[in-house]
Amino acid sequence: MAVCLATSLATAAVAANAFTLAWTHSIERVRWEEAWRVEGEALVLERVRVRGHGAGMEPAAGAVLRDGAWEWHPRTR
């Protein structure tokens, strides 16, 4: 299964069953990571890691502080 990723600059098809999106929050300046996997024709959010907290970045219920980052498993499609 291929995943098509698009930004304002480019579009790319990736032949992968799993991938991680990572970026720096524009206001809080902390790293945010989301691990996704392909399940059939759906994308499933497996894990979220945030290296801090702030406006709109509160860790979810059940989040664990691991290696300096809040981590949780939302299981969202």
Query: DSSP secondary-structure letter at 62?
Result: T
With left for phi above 0 and alpha for psi between -120 and 50, is residue 14 left, alpha or beta?
beta
pLDDT on residue 10: 77
Residue 77: predicted pLDDT: 59
| pLDDT confidence of residue 3 | 67
List, for residues 14-62, the tens digit of each pLDDT value: 788 999 999 887 777 888 899 999 998 888 999 999 988 777 777 888 8
d(CA 44, CA 2) in angstroms, rounded, equals 14
| Higher per-residue confidence, 13 vs 37 | 37
Is the model's pTM score more than 0.75? no
